[in-house]
Amino acid sequence: MDNLFLIRYGEIGIKGNNRYKFEDKLIENIEESLKELGAKPIVYKTFGRIFVETDLATEDVLKKLGDVFGIVGICPAQKAALDVENIKEEALKLVEEELEATAKEPLLFRITTNRSNKSFTLDTMELNRELGAYLLENTPDGALGVDLEDFDLELTAEIRDQQAYIYSQDKQGLGGLPVGTSDKAGLMLSGGIDSPVAGWLAMKRGVEITPIYFHTPPFTSERAKEKVIDLAEQLARYQPELKLHVVNFTAVQTAINEHCHADLITLVMRRQMIKIAQRITKNRGGKALVSGESIAQVASQTLDSLQVTNQIAELPILRPLIAFDKEEIINKAREIGTYKLSTKPAQDCCTVFVPDTPETHPEMEQITASEENLEVEELITEAIENAEIIEL
Q: Where is 255: in which H helix or E strand? A: helix 250-259
**Pairing outcome for strands 317-318 and 289-290:** parallel
Q: Is 188 helix (H, G, I), strand (E, B) or coil?
A: strand
Asked if residue 364 belongs to a known ligand binding site, the reply is no
Asked if residue 270 belongs to a known ligand binding site, the reply is yes
Asked if residue 334 belongs to a known ligand binding site, the reply is no
Q: Which residues neighbour 17 within 8 Å (Cβ) at sequence distance 6 or greater?
A: none
**What is the C-alpha to C-alpha distance for residues 260 and 271, in angstroms, rounded to an integer?**
13
**What is the C-alpha to C-alpha distance for residues 33 and 370, in angstroms, rounded to an integer?**
48
Neighbours of 116 (CB within 10 A): 13
**What is the C-alpha to C-alpha distance for residues 385 and 245, in angstroms, rounded to an integer?**
11
**Could you tell me which of 189, 340, 344 has the C-alpha nearest to residue 277?**
189
Largest distance between two CA atoms of the chain: 87
CA 385 vs. chain centroid, Å, equals: 30
Asked if residue 134 belongs to a known ligand binding site, the reply is no
**Could you tell me which of 301, 256, 300 has the C-alpha nearest to residue 276?**
256
Asked if residue 189 belongs to a known ligand binding site, the reply is yes
Report the amino acid identity of residue 135.
L
**What is the C-alpha to C-alpha distance for residues 18 and 31, in angstroms, rounded to an integer?**
21
Asked if residue 213 belongs to a known ligand binding site, the reply is yes
For residue 129, CA distances in Å to 77, 107, 125, 141 come to: 21, 18, 6, 18
**What is the C-alpha to C-alpha distance for residues 298 and 284, in angstroms, rounded to an integer?**
30
Asked if residue 324 belongs to a known ligand binding site, the reply is no
Q: Is 207 helix (H, G, I), strand (E, B) or coil?
A: coil
Q: Which residues neighbour 40 within 8 Å (Cβ) at sequence distance 6 or greater?
A: none
**Could you tell me which of 268, 246, 248, 247 has the C-alpha nearest to residue 257?**
268
Indicate the angle between helix axes 19-35 and 58-65, nearest 10 degrees.
130
**Pairing outcome for strands 243-248 and 171-172:** unpaired
Residues forming the annotated binding site? 188-189, 213-214, 270, 292, 301
Q: Which residues are known binding-site members for ATP?
A: 188-189, 213-214, 270, 292, 301
